[in-house]
Structure 1
Amino acid sequence: MGEKKALSTQDVADMLHVSKSTIYDLIKKGEIVSYKVGRKVRFTENDVQDYISRSKKGPFSPSSPSGTLGAFSLLGIEKKQDGFIICGQDLILDILSNYMRLHDIHALRAYIGSYDSLVSLYKNKINVASTHLWDSDTDQYNVPYVRRLLPGIPTVIIHLTCRMQGLYVAKGNPKGITTWADFGRDDITMINREFGAGSRVLLDENLKLLGIYGSTIRGYKKENQSHLAVASAVSSGEADVAVGNEKIARQVDNIDFIPLKKERYDLVVKKENFQTPEIQTMLNIIRSPAFKNEFANIGGYDTSDMGKIVAEI
């Protein structure tokens, strides 16, 4: 991240996958730096990165704003804290957590990528993992990774939504970027997602199929932890291309979206916990018309099979 772009409260909320009220709470508590232009609250990209860095070093606290656990990894935590923890980075999970709190379930959020989410479920640090990991050997989402990362653990995979993944490019696509093969060009600079993010796995799997090493791509080692941040980097000209989902492309000026892959975004729970009141309440919520209607006007979400059992492993 850099200092080049002033971010609004909504921009920062999208980057951290939380509500605007959570951002205002962070400002009030002095946990994130901001400034004002007239009556408008603004942030630099470094302010957001500094907050993320401090959160990674800080304690794992159920008292975080709006029931969040902060935008940091769970891998250093020895055991799961009190509360029902849903892990993943999409806005849909924040709304799900809010619905569960309305049903008197203390639902907490942990904001880490798909790979680390599954590892955290395996280590019993969370209750629900979310994942959108594509396996090139089977052309299948999530099931192969659940088998590998939760060995010997009976699990249930529940479908949440489908989203379109693709490429963020500058408005008008001046460099004519259209396929994964374009990452092998000498005139392309990219910006990457962090290790374990579904978008990064999708990129790496396609590069493997093409025989392209990431280390040969300019910008491959430059990472960021949100779709919005990498889309903003393309918008500002810091990079020519990044991988992300279509919904974020609609929120950022001066970029186009090249659709490449319809992905499945699923929830994973341990089978031994499937009949608990918390999991059954969660299932009833995501199958309800009221919850599905939350996304009717947002765009970028296919909720037709929401709540369907994908597999029992």
Structure 2
Amino acid sequence: MSNDMSYTTEEIAKLLKISKLTVYDLIKKGELPSYRVGKQMRVDAADLEAYKQRTRTVPVLVQSIQTHSPAPAQPSVSDTANRPIVITGHDISLDILAKHMEKAIPSIRPLRSFVGSLDSLISMYRGEADIVSTHLLDGDTGEYNLPYIRRLLVGSSYVVVNLLSRHAGLYVQPGNPFDLKQWSDLSRPGLRFVNREKGSGARVLLDEQIRLHGIRPEQLAGYDNIQTNHLGVATKVASGDADVGVGIEKAASIVGQVDFIPLIQERYDLVLLKTTWSQTWIPTLLQILQSDTFKKELQSIPGFDLSRTGEILFET
């Protein structure tokens, strides 16, 4: 096995003949050192081999005793030093939050996972994430996030807390040459569209709006033209490769050469999975969210509404 090689979590699961969830658990416990490349978490071959050697040295008798012994006590704070916390989502506010958490909670090590809202909730259900961000509109009720969270996290214990609110709408070329003002305008013939990937909040927003307005996906030329973040969508419109796309206001201000038509105020929430371990740091996380220091840092970013930041919206 070459020490220059590295493996994804899926590859490790196949090599060790265990589930992907077990691999994530080993990473969380610090038994498998890992790092992130893009959207993938990877483990070096040398670290995998070291883990295998450690497990081989455990006597069979000890393993048998452990199997039939009562469950061990929860680890102490010293045992969980630098234990990874997986935070999912794309927004820059999550990077700022991770920085504050790392400073305020020395026993944890935040890891960022750049996946969309729906995939984030699914990863939490599978036990692969500790904090997920979500902005999913339920078109029938007009409610953000809670309808999806209740359906996907059945049987889980969690807290839903607001991170921020922000405008979502349409990216259009400068001067809005097609005079797009509302969701129903997307049905106009000749528009070239650029879309987000399945599972992202922007994709769910679009799909709900065209459903409510009686527009079929095949009516949108470019519905299958996919970008994986807001900046990618805004850039495609700014470059003239598309006429319209759905996203948030902040990306338009970053990209430039693109106008933004606000159509909805979306609520961007955090879901915190409640476990014996997480409840040792959730109170500190809530203090961070509610602190003036954190809010002042977010206030420097245009397009954020922080009026409900840190407010607990739902708790099981």
TM-score with structure 2 length normalisation?
A: 0.74
Is residue 115 from structure 1 mapped to residue 118 from structure 2 by the alignment? yes
Q: Which residue of 2 aligns with 1:78?
A: none
2:91 and 2:228 map into 1 onto residues whose CA distance is 12
Q: Which runs of 5+ in 2 are unaligned?
A: 1-6, 13-23, 42-81
Q: Which runs of 5+ in 1 are unaligned?
A: 1-53, 75-80
Is the partner of 1:230 in helix, strand or coil? helix
Displacement of 1:259: 0.4
User: Would you say 1:221 and 2:237 are equivalent positions?
Assistant: no
8 Å CA contact retained: 1:215, 1:221: no
The offset of 1:224, in angstroms, is: 0.6
Q: Deviations over 1:202-253 (max 9, x none)?
A: 0100111112111221000010111111101000100000001111111122
Q: 1:303 to 1:69 in 2, by over 3 A?
A: farther
* Residue matched to 1:72: 39
Q: Secondary structure at the match of 1:267?
A: strand
- Equivalent in the alignment of 1:260: 263
Matching residue of 1:106: 109
Q: Any idea what the Cα deviations from partners look like across 1:147-199, whole Å, max 9, x if unmatched?
A: 11112223211011000001000000011111111221111111001111101
1:170 to 169, 173, 177: 173
Q: 1:273 to 1:221 in 2, by over 3 A?
A: farther
Equivalent in the alignment of 1:276: 279
User: Is the Cα–Cα contact under 8 Å of residues 71 and 112 in structure 1 kept in the other structure?
Assistant: no
Deviates more, 1:234-243 or 1:250-259: 250-259
- 2:66 is aligned to none
1:100 Cα offset (Å) = 1.3
Offset of residue 68 of structure 1:
6.9
Shift of 1:270: 2.3
Determine the structure 2 residue equivalent to 1:285: 288
Identical aligned pairs, as a percentage? 42
Q: 2-side partners of 1:226 and 1:133: how far apart?
A: 15
Q: In structure 2, what residue type is equivalent to 1:88?
A: G
Larger Rg: 2
Cα distance in 2 for partners of 1:238, 1:113 equals: 24
Are the counterparts in 2 of residues 274 and 280 from structure 1 also a CA contact under 8 Å? Answer: no
Tell me the distance in 2 between the aligned counterparts of 1:160 and 1:301.
Answer: 10
CA RMSD in angstroms comes to: 2.6
Partner of 2:139: 136
Change in 2 beyond 3 A, CA 1:89/1:283: same
Aligned residues of 1:161 and 1:305 also touching (Cα < 8 A): yes
Query: Residue in 2 aligned with 1:49?
Result: none
Count of aligned pairs between the two proteins: 251
Residue number in structure 2 paired with 1:309? 312
For residue 69 of structure 1, report the CA deviation from its aligned partner.
Answer: 3.3
2:154 maps to which residue? 151
Distance, in Å, in 2 between the alignment partners of 1:276 and 1:297 is 30
- TM-aligned CA deviation for residue 272 of structure 1: 3.7
* 1:13 matched residue in structure 2: none
- Counterpart of 1:221, as a letter, is D
Output aligned runs, 1:37-56, within 5 Å. Answer: none
Structure 1 residues 273 and 247: CA distance shift in structure 2, 3 A: farther
